[in-house]
Amino acid sequence: MKVLVAAKRVVDYNVNIRVLSDNTGVDLNNVKMSLNPFDEIALEEAVRLREAGTAEEVIVVSIGSSACQEQIRTALALGADRGILVETEEEMQPLAIAKVLKAIVEKEQPQLIILGKQAIDDDNSQTGQMLAALAGLSQATFASKVVIGDGTATVTREVDGGLETITVKLPAIITTDLRLNEPRYASLPNIMKAKKKQVDIYTPEELGVDIVSRVKTLKVEPPAERKAGVIVESVEELVDKLRNEAKVIS
């Protein structure tokens, strides 16, 4: 079984985000970039499937500028067998990404496609669902447990009401939740080996994909600063402030 994993280059989760002075976007100058944490979970699950003998090959694909090769090499060091970069300088929206991934799916014919449920930069949580619709494949989103059977995948999903377990036919698309697994760290020998692993580079034009954005960002603003809290001395004082200042009780 061949497994395809998507990997997005994002601002590291430890970085304090700064907005550009002209409000056109986020300041990325000298900012540490990393592999999207949810995609790390997706990659870890794929590597575990290969280590268990369920999968034979793990392919990681990233879409973006040539700098995305850094995250592909990280994924290769974490256990992926080969990488694919779809190189473009265009700002990619979820629909365009799903179209590109559909072209890669048609090219590689994987039996399982695993994506993080969302990226930590835009939090859209749309790409996996769009890819499933475009490719006409089964989908199981927000997975916290995956068991591969004979031509099927049984997935436990994190839903608002608790947990839901479904079975989908392969090939299928799975998006990962935080509780699916704990990603490993790359060892130094694997980091060195990753430098020699194969990375194929395509462009959207070569794949015949239209990536014109349908969404335009008008302005980017930081969230409003929160006011300092107030320490109260008694329950009576708390109730008084909630009633007379916050106006949340009557």
DSSP per position, 109-155: --SEEEEES--TTT----HHHHHHHHHT-EEEEEEEEEEE-SSEEEE
Q: What is the DSSP letter of 178?
A: G
Render pLDDT for 178-236 as a digit per residue (tens, 0 to 9).
999 999 999 999 999 999 999 999 999 999 999 888 888 889 888 888 888 889 899 99
| Overall CATH class of domain 2-223 | alpha beta
Instruction: List the structure tokens of 94.
Output: 């979820």
Render pLDDT for 116-169 as a digit per residue (tens, 0 to 9).
999 999 899 999 999 999 999 999 999 999 999 999 999 999 998 899 999 999
| Residue 75 · residue 112 · CB < 8 Å | no
| Residue 133 · residue 165 · CB < 8 Å | no
Domain edges within the chain: 2-223
The CA-CA-CA angle for residues 95, 97, 99, to 5°, reads: 70
Could you give the CA distance from residue 158 to residue 177 in angstroms, rounded to a whole number?
A: 7
Q: Give me the numbers of helices (H) and strands (E) for the chain, helices first please.
A: 7, 11
pLDDT of residue 56: 96
Task: Kindly report the average pLDDT of the chain as a whole number.
Answer: 93
**Amino acid identity at 71:** Q
What ranges in the chain are assigned the alpha helix state H?
37-51, 69-77, 94-108, 127-135, 188-194, 204-207, 235-244
Instruction: List the structure tokens of 52.
Output: 């268990």
